[in-house]
Amino acid sequence: MMALIEANLPALQVVLPLIAAPICAILGRGGRSWAFACIVILATFAISVALFAQTYAGTIISYRMGGWEIPLGIEYRVDRLNAFVLLIISGSATLVLPYARRIVAAEIPAERQPLFYTAFLLCIAGLLGITITGDAFNIFVFLEISSLATYALVASGSWVNKRALTAAYNYLIMGTVGATFFVIGVGMLYMITGTLNLADLAVRIADHGDSSTLRMGFVFILIGIGLKLAMFPLHLWLPNAYAYAPSAVTAFLAATATKAAVYVMLRFMFTVFGFDYEFQADTLRMVVLPLAVIAMFAASIVAIFQDNLKRMLAYSSIAQIGYILLGLTFLTETGLTASIVHLFNHAVTKAALFMVAGCFILSAGTCSISKLGGIGRDMPWTTAAFVAGGFSLIGLPLTVGFISKWYLVLAALELGWWPVALMIMASSLLAVIYVWRVVEVAYLQPAPEGTVRKEAPLSMLIPTWIFVGLSIWFGVNAMLTSTAAGRAASALFDSSHILWKE
């Protein structure tokens, strides 16, 4: 039995939550379905840990779905990079679900809760599938599964605020456009290579030679995935979706959804396209690099002017995605390490911050910054978590944010890109401003008249503080994350054919 499970771990990773989802729906009543989802997620997380441990040394697990031969059948392929991302996704889910219980009970009517958890499981299954599969079309399928589930999850925020419906609608349109672009791009690649397996694609693209179809395919995939990961200016769907989704969903999405998309971007850019031809690197540097830099500033500045805490954090996410993309466009190993380590670091930090926003909503009934006066005194633990997470967002030392910025700045300096390094630091200052705004209101301003606010329940505080703890633990002792990221980066880097590799 154990041997059977062990042999099929990659498949179980996705299939388990996928099968569990409909069961969850028929369990009825919130409590039961929630407990069931928790157990499933815990098992999923265990599988991720096992996969991570198996691949940490450098082994690549190749799993044939249904036993079909590789270029024909679907391959699940786990290496250091996606094992790391799998860990982020299932780990975040494991922490968000216990947190979700109370806030979901407050935000969603009881009879809808089983469906909510069903959608949640589907979303997780989709995200894990995107990450684990080694097949381009399969990525699209899972992308759609996770996206459809996400639209439903965002829309379920409408029990609190009707604007969630428009947000979900916008997200649906944009997500569909993105997925369509992606599938068009994949189709073009299929036209010229006749394969959908990623590893196979990589070899055949290198053999095939430059062509305009290839270039079209490249651009469609870049833009399609850029939409999903909220690359500036394709981010327009994100602020409202994050702001009006139920708080638990926002925390989960912020930690995982864009991260999975970034993974796909990394995989396509480095493994599949592999910079065989000069135009690919040129496009990255001429389009993505400036957009990333603009995102760092523009989104941060917008965040400064936001009153809704969740919207502010959402804009901050867009800026942080700018950092991740920036590391990618350096096209160096250090740059890639920075991007990958920031995947983890930002997931942890943002999840913690959005969870704090959820706690505020539960206790104070609002996350409008102007109404949070003096909340630091009423909810000391929650607010302290925000401060710690904010420090990480700014990139103060002894937090994970610092580790990311350190690698990013190091990568910029390695290339001698002084101005970029300076801009990274300057944009961190903007984070100081928007974090400080909240701290100032929370600690220095008097509470509005007649408010009664209790500290958030432990079931929410503990997951929040675990994320905060992680963001400090891995900020002090970055060995594990930076080694894992560094190894993943070097594997990615080696799988590409960057022409000017030193």
Partner 1 sequence: MPEYLTPALAYVAAALLVPFVPKGALRGLYLALVPVAGILIFWGLAPGTYNAFNVMGMQIGLMRVDALSQLFGLAFSVAAILAALYAWHLRDTIQQVATLLYAGSAIGAVFAADLITLFVFWEGTAIASVFLIWARRTEGSFAAGMRYLIVQVGSGVILIAGIVLLYRETGTIAFNAMELGSPATWTILAAIGIKCAFPFLHNWMHDAYPSATVTGTVVLSIFTTKLAIYALLRGFPGTELLIYIGIAMALFPVAFALLENDLRRVLTYSLNSQLGFMVVGAGIGTPLAINGAAAHAVASIFYQGLLFMSVGAILFRTGTARATALGGLYRTMPLTMIFCLVGAASISALPLTSGFVSKSMVLSAGGYEQMFPVWIALLVASIGAILHTGLRLPYLAFFGSDGGLRPKEAPGGMLLAMGLTAALCIAIGVLPAAFYALLPNDVPYEPYTFSHTIVQLQLVAFVALAFAIAVKRGLLPKAERATILDFDWTYRRLLPAILVGVGRLIAGLWKGAGRMVANSLNWGAGIVYHLHGPRGPFARTWPTGAMVMVVAFLLGMTLVVTYL
Binding site for partner 1 (CB under 8 A): 166, 169-170, 173-174, 177-178, 181, 212, 215-216, 218-220, 222-223, 226-227, 233-234, 236-237, 279, 282-283, 286-287, 305, 396-398, 406, 409-410, 413, 425, 443-444, 479
- Tell me whether residue 210 or residue 494 sits nearer to partner 1 (CB atom): 210
Dist. CA 400–CA 391, nearest whole Å: 9
Contact 437, 369 (CB under 8 A): yes
Nearest 5°: CA angle at 102, between 106 and 98? 145
Residue with smaller CB distance to partner 1, 248 or 435: 435
Minimum CB distance to partner 1 smaller for 159 or for 279: 279
| C-beta separation of 352 from 471 below 8 A | yes
Whichever of 205 and 222 has its CB closer to partner 1, that residue is 222
Q: To the nearest whole angstrom, how small is the minimum distance from the Cβ of residue 283 to partner 1?
A: 5
**CB of 72: closest distance to partner 1 in angstroms?**
31
Name the DSSP letter for residue 272: I
Nearer to partner 1, 68 or 305 (CB): 305
Question: Can you tell me the distance from the alpha carbon of 84 to that of 71, in angstroms, rounded to the nearest whole number?
Answer: 25
Nearer to partner 1, 223 or 357 (CB): 223
User: Apex CA 280: angle with CA 262 and CA 207, to 5°?
Assistant: 105
Beta carbon of residue 444, minimum distance to partner 1 (angstroms, whole number): 7
Q: Taking the complex as a whole, how short is the minimal distance between the CB of residue 142 and partner 1, in angstroms? A: 22
- Contact between residue 488 and residue 343 where contact means Cβ atoms under 8 Å apart: no
Instruction: Kindly provide the b/e burial profile for residues 436-467, where b requires at least 16 CB atoms within 10 angstroms of the residue's own CB.
Output: ebbbebbeeeebeeebebeebeeebbebbbbb
* End-to-end alpha carbon distance in the chain: 48
d(Cα 318, Cα 341) in Å, to the nearest integer? 17
Please say which residue, 7 or 444, places its beta carbon nearer to partner 1.
444
Residue (227 or 488) nearer to partner 1, CB = 227
- Compute the least distance from the CB of residue 293 to partner 1, in Å: 16
Give whichever of 361 and 442 is closer to partner 1, judged by the CB atom.
442
- Residue 1 CB, shortest distance to partner 1, in Å, is 43
Q: Residue 246 CB, nearest distance to partner 1 (Å)?
A: 22
Looking at the Cβ atoms of 219 and 328, the one nearer to partner 1 is 219
Are 89 and 150 in contact by the 8 Å Cβ rule? The answer is no
Query: How far is the C-alpha of 39 from the C-alpha of 17, rounded, in Å?
Result: 10
| Tokens describing residue 51 | 């996969």
Identity of the residue, 247 or 334, whose beta carbon is nearer to partner 1 in the bound complex = 334
Q: What is the DSSP string of 90-121?
A: HHHHHHHHHHHHHHHHHHS-GGGHHHHHHHHH
**What residue type is assigned to position 71 of the chain?**
P
Least gap, CB of 416 to partner 1 (angstroms): 10
Q: Kindly give the interhelix angle for 418-439 and 400-414, rounded to the nearest 10 degrees.
A: 160
Give least dist CB 236 to partner 1, A: 4
Task: Report in angstroms how near the CB of residue 462 gets to partner 1 at its nearest.
Answer: 23
How open is the CA angle 229-230-235, to the nearest 5 degrees?
Answer: 165
Minimum CB–partner distance for residue 8 and partner 1 (Å): 38
Q: Which amino acid is located at 447 in the chain?
A: A
Collapsing DSSP to helix, strand or coil, 344 comes out as helix
Least distance (Å) from partner 1 to the CB of residue 475? 12
Is the alpha carbon torsion for 404, 408, 409, 411 positive or negative? positive
Instruction: Report CA 145 to chain centroid distance, whole Å.
Output: 16
- Our CB check for partner 1 shows the closer of 96 and 478 to be 478
Gap between the Cα atoms of 189 and 175, Å rounded = 21
Q: How far is the CB of 173 from partner 1 (least distance, A)?
A: 5
**In this structure, what are the phi and psi dihedrals at residue 135, rounded to the nearest 5 degrees?**
-125, 130
Which structure tokens are listed for 303? 């965040």
Nearest to 485 by CA among 337, 348, 347: 337
| Measured CA angle at 416 (ends 415, 420), to 5 deg | 90
Secondary structure letter of residue 288 according to DSSP:
I
Q: Which of 281, 296, 251, 271 minimizes the C-alpha distance to 408?
A: 296
Pick 406 or 473: Cβ nearer partner 1: 406
